[in-house]
Amino acid sequence: MCSIFGIFGLQSGDDLGALRRQALECSQRQRHRGPDWSGVYVDEGAILVHERLAIVDPAGGSQPLLSQDGALALAVNGEIYNHAELKAELTQPYAFQTGSDCEVINALYREDAPESFLNRLNGIFAFALWDRQTGRALIARDPIGVCPLYWGHDREGRLRVASEMKSLCEHCADVAQFPPGHWYDTATGKLTQYYRRPWRDYEAVKGVQVSPTELREAFEAAVHRQLMTDVPYGVLLSGGLDSSLVAAVAARYARHRVEDGDRTEAWWPRLHSFAIGLKGSPDLAAARIAADALGTVHHGFEYTFEEGLDALPEVIRHIETYDVTTIRASTPMFLLARRIKAMGVKMVLSGEGSDEIFGGYLYFHKAPNAREFHEELIRKLDALHNYDCLRANKSMMAWGVEPRVPFLDREFLDVAMRMDASHKMITVGADGKKRIEKAVLREAFEGYLPDSILWRQKEQFSDGVGYGWIDGLKAHAEAQVSDRELAAADKRFPFNPPLTKEAYFYRALFEQAFPTPAAAETVPGGKSIACSSPAAIAWDASFAAAADPSGRAIAGVHAQAL
């Protein structure tokens, strides 16, 4: 994973030299995402800059990726997991210039329409492809929005795109997020949604069953695909269900090299796992149990509250949000990424997405029926790029560590989401006992993990690193923000005014890094927990009054479920 920056719509009177220098300066602000190499492409119509984190083909594969005739220039942030299959399916000859998994996008562009070939890509990506012959740029983002992408126009009307907002804010008054699952054609000025799945409609999944074997095998295949790497890698292991399942499956494949069909021994056959928390945190204890059971080389790191507090301004600058839950969880992840980078690891697998697919959040206990349960899952998936995907990607990439998320693998999603949500609901069984959240996933992996991990109660990540973390943040904000300031929050922050002192504190730090109105508008309004959704409030009216997004604060559900 890397970073991209592009300027399109150049005119004959533009000073290419000055624009090139400006593009390099803007791209340098996101170089933390790609510290290994920088590449630049300039012609009379476009400028592309790429900051590379070398994961596949580290000796080659530098970007922008050019076609043999020089007509195509491609800058990609991401990974295409099924690139080998796509290359084998090409109907026209294409002279590949590198071993990069992403170069297949150029070949597909040459023989197929964007709507078609984008739906064949299984990966995480945000890219800008420039066709010099037609003067056309194609910009696209992966279906869920795992990879960040922003766009806007400078004062001369030129289109600019970048992996992070910080590279655009100075020159684009209209900076905004590029929507996941869409592509944009500069030739037509049309933004098109390409990712539309039947399972979004409950009627399409009603009555559908997915066997535990099919669910397990689909996830195993997803993890196996995402072990594609030519550099040292590891797994994030909080000791919760999701990260432990990722680690358990990865451990089964770690000894062989995925890139040659598992025929040879892996270059780094021992799987390393990583966890972080305050001293005595629930996650550190559970992660050690899981690591011992799986036989990983485990690294559990402790951080202090003061270290986390000191990092907050930098964390907010990197993750580019003022959302309370995201900042709480991003800070320990940011600190962990720095430790991982220091150990020479460049890629990690993580467990994001499982709660959105299976209804893992504790408020799902209140869902009244399968239809509403399913519709809430769709809403959560649609918002994921603003929260957990943003957190995992930006807090890790702040230190040049690439996160991959097997639960959001395109093929696995098609299996897990076509299951009738009635099988995912937290219902009362014949024995009178209430099922735990994500029971259908746990049952599919019986025997993979110790029962203490497989059936562990859900924790928010920001809770699991130690309850003192959230309590300390609240206390610190209470001391920093006066009652008078909070009462006047809507005057200082008319867009998305903060509702708590903690939210006000984060918003002030965000404003220091990103003072423009457009920057503030890239962050969605409301509370990030789903209890802010109209559907969830309809399930339980008490959710409407919950100002705190911690899992412990959801109408007593956390305590009742333990």
Residue 100 maps to a domain = yes
Tell whether 295 and 442 lie within a shared domain: yes
Tell whether 218 and 343 lie within a shared domain: yes
Name which of 36, 147, 63, 64 is nearest 396 in CA terms: 147
Tell whether 387 and 418 lie within a shared domain: yes
**Distance (Å, rounded) from C-alpha 290 to C-alpha 12?**
61
Residue 500 maps to a domain = no
Tell whether 191 and 207 lie within a shared domain: no
Contacts of 541 (CB under 8 A, 6+ apart): none
What is the model's pLDDT at position 460? Answer: 57
* Contact assessment for residue 362 and residue 249, using Cβ atoms and an 8 Å cutoff: no
Q: 297 — alpha (psi -120 to 50), left (phi > 0) or beta?
A: beta
Q: Which residue has the higher pLDDT, 466 or 38?
A: 38
Tell whether 213 and 259 lie within a shared domain: yes
CATH no. for residue 83? 3.60.20.10
Contacts of 364 (CB under 8 A, 6+ apart): 373, 376, 425, 426, 437
What is the model's pLDDT at position 523? Answer: 97
Catalytic entry in 2, 26, 102, 531: 2
Tell whether 74 and 192 lie within a shared domain: yes
Residue 425 maps to a domain = yes
Burial (CB < 10 A; 0-12, 13-18, 19+), residue 252, is: middle
Residue 428 maps to a domain = yes
Q: What is the pLDDT of residues 496-516, one digit of tens each?
A: 999 999 999 999 999 999 999
Residue 322 maps to a domain = yes
Name which of 72, 50, 70, 47 is nearest 62 in CA terms: 50
Amino acid in the structure at residue 188: T
Number of structural domains in the chain = 2
Which domain, by its residues, includes 121?
Answer: 3-196
What is the model's pLDDT at position 456? Answer: 81
101 is in an annotated binding site: yes
**Distance (Å, rounded) from C-alpha 248 to C-alpha 185?**
42
| From 22-31, 418-427, 464-473, 486-495, the region with the lowest mean pLDDT | 464-473
381 is in an annotated binding site: no
* Residue 561 pLDDT level (bands cut at 50, 70, 90): very low
Q: Between β-strands 182-185 and 190-193, what pairing exists: parallel, antiparallel or unpaired? A: antiparallel
What is the model's pLDDT at position 557? Answer: 56
Among 145, 163, 196, residue at a domain's last position? 196
| 2 in catalytic set | yes
**Distance (Å, rounded) from C-alpha 350 to C-alpha 438?**
17
Burial (CB < 10 A; 0-12, 13-18, 19+), residue 131, is: buried
Tell whether 125 and 274 lie within a shared domain: no
Q: Is the pLDDT of residue 56 over 90?
A: no
Tell whether 257 and 170 lie within a shared domain: no
Residue 374 maps to a domain = yes
Tell whether 172 and 189 lie within a shared domain: yes
| pLDDT > 90 in the chain, percent | 82
276 is in an annotated binding site: yes
Tell whether 113 and 205 lie within a shared domain: no
CATH no. for residue 534? 3.40.50.620
What is the model's pLDDT at position 62? Answer: 87
* Residue 546 pLDDT level (bands cut at 50, 70, 90): low
351 is in an annotated binding site: yes
Residue 483 maps to a domain = no
Tell whether 152 and 172 lie within a shared domain: yes
**Distance (Å, rounded) from C-alpha 442 to C-alpha 15?**
59
Q: What is the pLDDT of residues 432-446, one digit of tens each?
A: 778 899 999 999 999
Amino acid in the structure at residue 96: F
Tell whether 234 and 368 lie within a shared domain: yes
105 is in an annotated binding site: no
**Distance (Å, rounded) from C-alpha 28 to C-alpha 22?**
10
* Residue 269 pLDDT level (bands cut at 50, 70, 90): confident
Which residue shows structure tokens 């109105």? 517
Residue 484 maps to a domain = no
DSSP secondary structure code for residue 115 in this structure: H
What is the model's pLDDT at position 362? Answer: 86
